[in-house]
Amino acid sequence: MIVEMNQLFRGVKTPEEASLLQKKLQIDAEIKLLLTPWSYSLFNSLPDFFKQQILTAREIEGSVKLSHIETEKLIAYFVQIELEKRKKAGTYKGSFAPVTHFFGYQGRSGHPSAFDCSLGSTCGFAAGVLIERNLTGLTVAVRQVTQPVKKWRIGAVPILAMIHSHPKEGFQRSALVVRSEDVRLDARPFQALRHKMKTWKHEDRYRNPGPI
């Protein structure tokens, strides 16, 4: 369903066209024509708040902004419906008042290592120094982080120096972005990782050092 909707927005060129398509998709007869029967049935089974998020939360290139889709609220919604059915059937007598939370990046990160703690403290302290000196519009830069902490070099970079305007897919073509760095698949670090992955498929070599 999401793939089909992404394809619909991929052909949109302007914010006005995107807004028009979003309004069109809110009309049941229109969305029924634009989606396959299976995707339409799935979309129709969702609560209104969730439908709205799927239609309006969009990335620059038009795809669904998954981090803005509140799946935790969707689960709570369906659990509540199920419990109400059980109450009517006499098989459930409790109460249900869910409080949901979105963990985002926290949900897929491990405990911080000694390096993580040192880098976080360094960035925080450096940011405090910049604020104290009334230096704004800057981001902290820490170099030589492969060396011992005492040899780290701390500085600042103007945020404007990091911003680029380059052609992007989708309807928000003029957006300024801090360009992300892609992993070079032919570089030695990735090739070394790829070599190890063959071993990790068959052997348990994982370890979580925890906060050291």
pLDDT tens digits, 151-168: 999 999 999 998 877 655
H or E stretch including 20? Answer: helix 15-25
pLDDT above 80 (res 175) = no
| 1: helix, strand or coil | coil
Q: Name every residue whose Cβ is closer than 8 Å to that of residue 52 and which is 6 or more positions away in sequence.
A: none
For 141-149, the CB contacts below 8 A with 24+ separation are: 145/115, 145/119, 149/118, 149/122
> Which residue type occupies 71?
T
**Predicted pLDDT of residue 133:** 95
* pTM, 2 dp: 0.51
> Which residue type occupies 51?
K
77-93 pLDDT per residue, tens: 999 999 999 999 999 99
DSSP state of 61: T
**Predicted pLDDT of residue 109:** 67
Rounded CA separation 93/163 (Å): 57
For the segment 114-135, the average pLDDT, to the nearest whole number, is: 94
Q: Which of 13, 14, 48 is nearest to 25 (CA)?
A: 48
**Predicted pLDDT of residue 118:** 94
Q: pLDDT band for position 106 (50/70/90)? A: low
Strand partners, 143: 153
Q: Name every residue whose Cβ is closer than 8 Å to that of residue 53 and which is 6 or more positions away in sequence.
A: 68, 69, 70
